Amino acid sequence: MASSLTKDSVTPGTPGSEKTFFGHPRGLATLFMTEMWERFSYYGMRALLPLYLVAPGGLGLNAGTATAIYSVYLSLVYLLTMPGGWFGDRVWGPRKTVAVAGGIIMLGHLTLALPSSGTFYAGLGLVAIGSGLLKANISTMVGQLYDGPDDPRRDGGFTVFYMGINLGAFAAPLIIGTIGENVNWHLGFALAALGMALGVAQFLLGSRHLAAHSSVVPKPLSVEEKTSTLRKAAFWAALAVVFYAIVGFTGHYTLNWILVPLTLLGVIVPVLVLTRIKRDKSLDRAEQSKMSAYIWFFVAAAVFWMIYDQGGSTLSIFADSSAENSVLGWEFPVSWYQSVNPVLIMALAPVFAWFWLALNRRGKEPSTIVKFASGLVLVGASFFLFLAPLSIAEGGHKAAALWLVAIYFTQTVGELLLSPVGLSVTTKMAPVKYASQMMGVWFLAVTAGDATTGLLSIAGVDLNKSGIVALEATLAVVAGVAVWMYRKKVKALMGDVR
């Protein structure tokens, strides 16, 4: 998925602004490589995760529990981008936050590499915390390299940065997945730690090329705020320790005591955040109207990500047990499917950019609402397509690998229609008061979608059954059609945003 794009201006004379990296400030090379290695470690581990959870040589869990753990993990990564951004703004500043985050991620992968189920979940938690801290701040630092939002190099810089994301995501399953599946699971996780270590090392070495004020804390906490924050954090931490100690010592502890609260958190927090913004009486009528329109986009996006992110869990587990993972007789690891999306993104993104520009010149470019609705319909269509290999597997045969490639292709086209539009709409429709927080709100749509998948899995719903897959596909198509049918109403609520 695309990284967040935030707007930050800088004063002229930013250090490292000479054109030495594809015509961009040298600091972009540092951030490009940091993000590439971070995505390498993240997507490598993510490609292995569901397979390790169900493997006899791994944790040997059933598919439902594995999907729940995977979904809760993803929802946490995106949920933690909001406190991650808060740390960058109020406590450490973006540069220090990214450096610390890289260290936490590396430690998490090393913990995953230990051959113990007890430490495994701690490792997942560390990677989620580190990813939330890093994801929220590194894009901000890209923006700080340029002379304000009108710098003509800015959009190109983010495009180069985005390529780093997809390069790391493409290479990771091919390298980490192959080692993890064919040699040793924990060695695969250790390779993810090595990737993040390389990212941290080059970030620290190249940090002299970053904007000077990337080290500045934009809105530092006052002494009173710091004391209050620490007191509240200590209270909730102590409460959690006491609660789980009681559950553990009384012999009632199961994995669901962790999974259920975290999953509910992933659903409740987005609702609370949107409600708080919508009910803010300081927003004027136009801002209130835009937020009403934005809720349409948010709910639709949550449905999209609920299905899309099952590409790494439901589809991966299906491929492991029921697909013929070979091309022309040559077998490949299941984790390699996770490289399909990033390579398609790199191939198709320039085509889409050219296509929209060509249509725009003719005055025929689809509206934001139509693009969004089309993305939803396509992700629904991908799961209708999934019914074919499911039917083949139910008949006792192995489904061809090309079925899965076709599903990932359909989802990628849907992503290119919906994700960039969602990022753009979020920045355009954000109330002035919440301008810096709204990108975190957009990521909460991912949290809500993944948390919903987690809840279904915990409830015992088999997401690899034809009936459930058809129901999810229908939900996405109906949501897309609803957005399209009410496009005039939504457009009116959007005001001057197009």
Judged by average pLDDT, the poorest of 95-99, 284-288, 310-314, 372-376 is 284-288
CA angle 44, 79, 335 (to 5 degrees): 20
HEC-encoded secondary structure of 446-496: HHHHHHHHHHHHHCCCCCCCHHHHHHHHHHHHHHHHHHHHCHHHHHHHHCC
Band the pLDDT of 436: cuts 50, 70, 90: low
Q: How far apart are CA 349 and CA 314, in angstroms?
A: 26
Looking at per-residue pLDDT, the higher value among 417 and 424 belongs to: 417
Describe the crossing of helices 285-308 and 256-278 by its angle, rounded to 10 degrees.
150
The yes-or-no verdict on residue 299 having pLDDT over 70 is yes
Looking at per-residue pLDDT, the higher value among 428 and 131 belongs to: 131
**Tell me: the pLDDT tens digits for 100-113?**
999 999 999 999 99
CA angle 493, 497, 445 (to 5 degrees): 75
Q: How far apart are CA 419 and CA 439, in angstroms?
A: 12
The yes-or-no verdict on residue 304 having pLDDT over 60 is yes
Rg over CA atoms, the chain: 22
Backbone torsions φ then ψ of 128, nearest 5 degrees: -65, -45
Residue 496 confidence (pLDDT): 63
Secondary element (H or E) of residue 278 = helix 256-278
The yes-or-no verdict on residue 15 having pLDDT over 60 is no
* Strand partners for 327: 330
**Tell me: the pLDDT tens digits for 149-203?**
667 777 677 778 888 888 999 999 999 999 999 999 999 999 999 999 999 999 9
Q: How far apart are CA 126 and CA 105, in angstroms?
A: 6
Across 139-146, average pLDDT: 82
- Contact 22/160 with Cβ under 8 angstroms? yes
- To the nearest whole percent, how much of the chain has pLDDT over 90? 51
3-state SS assignment for residue 21: strand
Encode burial over 209-220: b for 16+ CB neighbours within 10 A, e otherwise.
bbbebbeebeee
**Tell me: the pLDDT tens digits for 189-204?**
999 999 999 999 999 9
Residue 172 confidence (pLDDT): 94
**Tell me: the pLDDT tens digits for 324-346?**
999 888 899 999 999 999 999 99
Judged by average pLDDT, the poorest of 12-16, 62-66, 426-430 is 12-16
Q: How far apart are CA 411 and CA 405, in angstroms?
A: 10
CA angle 308, 311, 314 (to 5 degrees): 115
**Rounded (10°) CA dihedral 56, 58, 59, 65:** -80
Q: Report the helix count and the strand count for the chain, using DSSP H and E.
A: 18, 6
Across 411-431, average pLDDT: 84
Secondary element (H or E) of residue 331 = strand 330-331
DSSP string, 62-73: -HHHHHHHHHHH
Q: What is the mean pLDDT of the chain?
A: 87
Structure tokens at 219: 């809105």
Residue 149 confidence (pLDDT): 62
Residue 7 confidence (pLDDT): 34
**Tell me: the pLDDT tens digits for 254-277?**
888 888 899 999 999 999 999 998
Burial class (CB within 10 angstroms; exposed 0-12, middle 13-18, buried 19+) of 114: middle
3-state SS assignment for residue 279: coil
Q: How far apart are CA 267 and CA 68, in angstroms?
A: 14
Band the pLDDT of 9: cuts 50, 70, 90: very low
